[in-house]
Structure 1
Amino acid sequence: MWFPRLPSERALRLRPVEGPFAIIAVQSNHERLYALNEAAERQGLECGMGVADARAYVPDLVTRPADIDADRRFLTMLARWATRYTPHAGLDGEDGLVLDITGAAHLFGGEAAMLEDMKDRLARTRLSVKIGIADTRGAAWALAHFAPGIAGAGKTAQALGPLPVAALRTNEKTDTALKRLGLNTIADLTALPRATLARRFDMALIERLDQATGQRGETVSPLSEPPHYGVRMMLPDPIGLMDDVMAALSRLIERLCQKLKARESGARLLRLTLTRADSTAQTCELRLARPMREAARILSLFERSVAAVDAGFGIERMRLEATSVENLPAEQLSDSGTAPADALDDLITRLGVRIGIDNILRFQPVESHIPERGFAELPATAGRIDMDWHAPRPRPLKLFAPEPITAAPARRPPSRFSWRRMRLETASTTGPERIAPEWWRPDESWRSGLRDYWKVETRQGLRLWMYHTPQAPGWFVHGLFA
């Protein structure tokens, strides 16, 4: 199955456009057409054409940037849809699917009926597709790209004969060389002795020819199912005591952690579903501050949630599922058997069980010289950010909104001034540190312009962080050092 307009049709499904439309991508530092819709193709545009040239031909051309990842996800979704025809469905490049329908075609009334059903269903979803069915994967690809249809059983060579040599999935250099020798079709190629082809070209051409004609096998790799991190337990008799529930939960967690460990993953969100004897269910969720797969620790964190469960006439079924999973590769542990940051993350998780983990915030550094933007408040579950950037000079421990002082106007810190109804005398000063506003960010408090910051120690024992504004002379206190 070949989708010649997959990127453009995927984008048009989200936001339809009337008239010529194209997806553009940057190739060799130039914007070029990456995919087109049918209207753009009818006006003579081709993939690979420069955007400027395309607009000269078609002034009303509508364009959008390419999203390769979204195209890949969409193609994967189509591959999962194709499993309605056969369980052996996989990806073929960036714009195709390959299906092994051996033993499945009769369930849809034969190959012809299956092909028409595929076309009808995809047409209703506004997707263009070209399909080839043959005995081999190479022949099916060739038919889909150059002569859509069905090659009957045992007629693969006959169907491939009139197709161009590019149908063998060879590279452009080999195709050009074959055409220069007058070998335009696959029939011309097969008429030559294999020894001649082997001497003139590399073995890749022979391999592709053998795969297309069936002399060499080529497998279909179906999409692998995403890992499922869920375990369940059916209890022989209903249970209601917390100790019994925790004992059963311990077994579920052990099994789940084995799955996580096998894939070097850790759970961030766990959901425990308890089904009672009256078929009603209660759910307990545990959000973790870090990926985790240590069974003993996870079990202890569930105690508070399980204690709040109303067992009713007893619990008959239990299901534990990790609904959010992150990579957790093996790492060197400390002498105590725990990683250095585990204790803090466990504390955050325990507090989160009580007050909600979203209510716990953590300060993270931000690359900005502006004091108010040097940090950000993020949820504790966001994790820590490792940064090499540091402010060029120490920042005060306590930062507050700038407060004006009463002093004689001067460019250097005044020897005597009043602040918060206190009369202070300057003992020593360090500075200045000039900080300019970030012009690309609107900020009312920084529209006054430059600031010259000074560290001022007073004889009264206060260590102030003060600044002077040259453009509108004035002194302000912005923070306190410890």
Structure 2
Amino acid sequence: LYPTLRVRQVAPDADMRALKRLSAAAMRYTPWVAIDPLGGKDSAGFSGLLGGLGGDAGLWLDVSGCAHLFGGEDALLADLIGRFEGHGFAARAGVAATPGAAWALARFAETTSYILAPGTEREALGPLPVAALRIGDRAAEALERVGLRRVDDLLKMPRGPLAKRFGRAVLERLDQALGKTGEPISPRRESAIIHARRVFAEPIGRTGDIEAALAGLLGDVAAGLETAGLGARRLDLNLYQVDNSAARVRIGSSRPVRDPGHLARLFRDKMEDFDAGFGVEVMALAAVETARLALRQGELANELASGLAGDKGETVTADATARLVDRLAGRLGPGNVTRLSPQASHVPERASREIPVLTTKKDRAENGETHPETQDLWPNVWQGPPRRGPRPIQLLAQPMPIEVMAPVPDGPPVLFRWRRRQHRVAAAEGPERIAPEWWQRQGCLPPGATTLEHGTRDYYRVEDEGGKRYWLFREGLYRPDRPPRWYLHGFFT
């Protein structure tokens, strides 16, 4: 045992985003879903050691009046746990008439799922430890020091002395679990979708009339987005026709946007072949996915567009690039225009991946983007120097073995052979050491490497006598009984 061992969450923000996605998925069972405030990074006074048999993250689901839609509580619980396990999460669940009892059973019951009949809370909770009452570590430890280890022990004690010594919170949690005191749950609420609608006195069918109506809808939605400080990533236009048919046109943007002119051009490209038939009676526009978008000075933006802002004209370039990407994706298909997405990895071949420019918030989170809600795909402000050495213009998908001659085993090369051709090194810079990602299952061990020592890489930027520059690395730490292995990983010129 290591009593001084300290445990910290690796990525609490990523955990919370994953928990929010799980809460959204759980809304298929009930609209009343909430994240347990005592779990994850929001916990206060809960170390996790007293958190029961499961993890520290949890969800509340109020399934009152919903269970019969899934064949009863047993079937609902089995389906819920099965879906979570199918996504790689170990889940425990409890169903009870009170939130406190359900929380206790989900975390402290001997089985992974437990359904408690109403009115039997006292008998079911009695054998559980006092930590099952959500009283926190300090209170639970204080109760255990005086021999009050089980909920039954508390039920046998006079309430007055118990409250005087350990505080009212212990009795409040006990009453909530037994149903003597109500406990409201604040459900997770989706942000309201910003939308606009036009109903016409007479059906319209001319292209000019439809474009004029669309311009009005875009203006209304843009105003709503500006008020909320948001930009649209995806918009849906629904056109309801006289013959009871409906058409939907969806556009996407590579960055949050609320410029009606740009959005109108994207819709125009998508609606070139639209047939209004006998006419359109109703048009409805909705921003189905949004992200935060900072306010900009209109006059200053015009100055930048006119080239009057000097070296800060890169803002216009970024905006123009994003508009071009949006139109190309609309014309060629969203899957045919791609970009590089940064990944949370120091290993060069895994530091980025190619993904479509038009993706949903869920896709961006699954792709490992650090802040998928706010990330600007085409940043217009230099973010400062990187925390790493220069990277080659061309990176090989997989490092290629080479033969190297070095004056000292752990020094830079003076000569290397690649594809039967010898290159004499005129200059070398390095090393830049990249250690294996020991926290990952796969790490960054090359084929044949089995230990962290083997997976360490020392990178060198070298230039041969012909002026060509290469990115080489030595795999593994120096050992007298094991010659180092060298690889070519990229080209600078």
TM-score by length of 2: 0.52
Which residue number in structure 2 is paired with residue 383 of structure 1? 379
Which residue number in structure 1 is paired with residue 95 of structure 2? 133
Which residue number in structure 2 is paired with residue 174 of structure 1? 139
Establish whether residue 161 from structure 1 lines up as the match of residue 126 from structure 2: yes
How do 1:311-390 and structure 2 match up within 5 A?
311=275, 313=277, 315-316=279-280, 317-322=282-287, 325-330=290-295, 333=297, 382-389=378-385
Establish whether residue 143 from structure 1 lines up as the match of residue 102 from structure 2: no
Compare 95-104 and 341-350 and name the one that shifted more.
Answer: 341-350
State the alpha-carbon separation in 2 of the partners of residues 445 and 81 from structure 1.
51
In structure 2, which of residues 458, 463, 469 is the aligned counterpart of residue 446 of structure 1? 463
State the alpha-carbon separation in 1 of the partners of residues 140 and 428 from structure 2.
60
Following TM superposition, by how much is the alpha carbon of 1:329 offset from its aligned partner in structure 2, in angstroms?
A: 3.4
Give the SS at the match of 1:246: helix
Give the SS at the match of 1:158: helix
Establish whether residue 292 from structure 1 lines up as the match of residue 285 from structure 2: no
Which residue number in structure 2 is paired with residue 20 of structure 1? none
Following TM superposition, by how much is the alpha carbon of 1:165 offset from its aligned partner in structure 2, in angstroms?
A: 0.9
One-letter amino acid of the structure 1 residue matched with residue 62 of structure 2: D
Which residue number in structure 2 is paired with residue 61 of structure 1? none
Give the SS at the match of 2:128: coil
State the alpha-carbon separation in 2 of the partners of residues 361 and 145 from structure 1.
44
State the alpha-carbon separation in 2 of the partners of residues 255 and 269 from structure 1.
16
State the alpha-carbon separation in 2 of the partners of residues 169 and 361 from structure 1.
48
Q: Deviations over 1:5-41 (max 9, x none)?
A: xxxxxxxxxxxxxxxxxxxxxx8479xxx9xxxxxxx
Which residue number in structure 2 is paired with residue 87 of structure 1? 31
Following TM superposition, by how much is the alpha carbon of 1:328 offset from its aligned partner in structure 2, in angstroms?
A: 1.2
Q: Deviations over 1:132-161 (max 9, x none)?
A: 333321112112223363443333233322
Which residue number in structure 2 is paired with residue 193 of structure 1? 158
Instruction: Quickly say closer, same or farther: Cα 1:80–1:302, change in 2 above 3 A.
Output: closer
One-letter amino acid of the structure 2 residue matched with residue 382 of structure 1: W
Instruction: Quickly say closer, same or farther: Cα 1:203–1:262, change in 2 above 3 A.
Output: farther
State the alpha-carbon separation in 2 of the partners of residues 304 and 85 from structure 1.
39
Is the 2:232–2:256 contact (alpha carbons within 8 Å) kept by the matching residues of 1? yes
One-letter amino acid of the structure 2 residue matched with residue 190 of structure 1: L
Aligned length: 330
Instruction: Quickly say closer, same or farther: Cα 1:238–1:164, change in 2 above 3 A.
Output: same
One-letter amino acid of the structure 2 residue matched with residue 168 of structure 1: L
State the alpha-carbon separation in 1 of the partners of residues 251 and 81 from structure 2.
40
Which residue number in structure 2 is paired with residue 118 of structure 1? 77
State the alpha-carbon separation in 2 of the partners of residues 356 and 224 from structure 1.
32
What are the ranges of 5 or more consecutive residues in structure 2 without an aligned counterpart?
Answer: 40-55, 305-312, 340-356, 358-375, 387-426, 433-457, 469-493
How do 1:131-280 and structure 2 match up within 5 A?
131-147=93-109, 149-270=114-235, 272=237, 279=245
Q: Deviations over 1:190-237 (max 9, x none)?
A: 332333223322443233223223343322222222543554545454
One-letter amino acid of the structure 2 residue matched with residue 140 of structure 1: A
One-letter amino acid of the structure 1 residue matched with residue 74 of structure 2: L
One-letter amino acid of the structure 1 residue matched with residue 380 of structure 2: R
One-letter amino acid of the structure 2 residue matched with residue 146 of structure 1: F
State the alpha-carbon separation in 2 of the partners of residues 120 and 76 from structure 1.
19
State the alpha-carbon separation in 2 of the partners of residues 129 and 83 from structure 1.
16
Instruction: Quickly say closer, same or farther: Cα 1:208–1:267, change in 2 above 3 A.
Output: same
State the alpha-carbon separation in 2 of the partners of residues 283 and 106 from structure 1.
37
State the alpha-carbon separation in 2 of the partners of residues 153 and 276 from structure 1.
52
Compare 314-323 and 157-166 and name the one that shifted more.
Answer: 314-323
Rg (Cα) greater in structure: 1
Is the 1:139–1:160 contact (alpha carbons within 8 Å) kept by the matching residues of 2? yes
Instruction: Quickly say closer, same or farther: Cα 1:293–1:338, change in 2 above 3 A.
Output: farther
State the alpha-carbon separation in 2 of the partners of residues 86 and 286 from structure 1.
30
Give the SS at the match of 1:446: strand
One-letter amino acid of the structure 2 residue matched with residue 138 of structure 1: G
State the alpha-carbon separation in 2 of the partners of residues 190 and 143 from structure 1.
18
Give the SS at the match of 1:87: coil
Which residue number in structure 2 is paired with residue 97 of structure 1? 59
What's the RMSD between the two structures over aligned residues?
Answer: 4.9
How do 1:377-416 and structure 2 match up within 5 A?
382-389=378-385
One-letter amino acid of the structure 2 residue matched with residue 101 of structure 1: V
Compare 77-86 and 96-105 and name the one that shifted more.
Answer: 77-86
How do 1:39-58 and structure 2 match up within 5 A?
none
Instruction: Quickly say closer, same or farther: Cα 1:262–1:154, change in 2 above 3 A.
Output: farther
Give the SS at the match of 1:238: strand
Is the 1:282–1:309 contact (alpha carbons within 8 Å) kept by the matching residues of 2? no
- The sequence identity of aligned pairs, in percent, is 34
Q: Deviations over 1:79-110 (max 9, x none)?
A: 4454444322223335433222334445567x
Which residue number in structure 2 is paired with residue 415 of structure 1? none
Instruction: Quickly say closer, same or farther: Cα 1:107–1:326, change in 2 above 3 A.
Output: closer
Instruction: Quickly say closer, same or farther: Cα 1:443–1:242, change in 2 above 3 A.
Output: farther
Is the 2:318–2:379 contact (alpha carbons within 8 Å) kept by the matching residues of 1? no
Following TM superposition, by how much is the alpha carbon of 1:326 offset from its aligned partner in structure 2, in angstroms?
A: 2.6
Instruction: Quickly say closer, same or farther: Cα 1:178–1:360, change in 2 above 3 A.
Output: closer
State the alpha-carbon separation in 1 of the partners of residues 77 and 338 from structure 2.
51
Following TM superposition, by how much is the alpha carbon of 1:383 offset from its aligned partner in structure 2, in angstroms?
A: 2.7
Give the SS at the match of 2:31: coil
State the alpha-carbon separation in 2 of the partners of residues 162 and 360 from structure 1.
60
Is the 2:215–2:264 contact (alpha carbons within 8 Å) kept by the matching residues of 1? no
State the alpha-carbon separation in 2 of the partners of residues 351 and 116 from structure 1.
50
State the alpha-carbon separation in 2 of the partners of residues 229 and 120 from structure 1.
33
State the alpha-carbon separation in 1 of the partners of residues 266 and 135 from structure 2.
58
Following TM superposition, by how much is the alpha carbon of 1:168 offset from its aligned partner in structure 2, in angstroms?
A: 0.8
Is the 1:270–1:286 contact (alpha carbons within 8 Å) kept by the matching residues of 2? yes
Which residue number in structure 2 is paired with residue 8 of structure 1? none
